[in-house]
Structure 1
Amino acid sequence: MALKFAAAIKKARSELETLTGLELGSTVSAHPDGDGWQVTLEAIEKKSIPDSMDILGIFEVNLDAEGNISEFNRVRMRKRIDIDENA
Structure 2
Amino acid sequence: MVDLIRGDGGRARRGEPVGDRYDDEEEEYFEPISAAEAAREGMRQIVELTGRDPMGTTSLKSSRDGWIVGVEVVEDPRIPSSIDLLGLYEVELDLEGALLGYRRVRRYQRGKGEVG
Q: State the partner residue of 1:76.
A: 106
Equivalent in 48, 71, 77 of residue 47 of structure 1 = 77
Number of residue pairs aligned between Structure 1 and Structure 2: 86
**Which segments of structure 1 move beyond 4 Å, counting only runs of 4 or more?**
none
Residue 27 of structure 1 deviates from its aligned partner by 1.1
**3-state SS of 1:40 partner:** strand
What are structure 2's unaligned runs of at least 5 residues? Answer: 1-30
Residue 31 of structure 1 deviates from its aligned partner by 1.1
Percent identity, please: 34
Return the structure number with greater relative CO, CA threshold 8 A, min gap 6: 1
TM-score (norm 1): 0.92
TM-score (norm 2): 0.70
What are structure 1's unaligned runs of at least 5 residues? Answer: none
State the structure with more CA Rg. 2
Q: State the partner residue of 1:66.
A: 96
Q: Pick the structure with more helix per residue.
A: 1
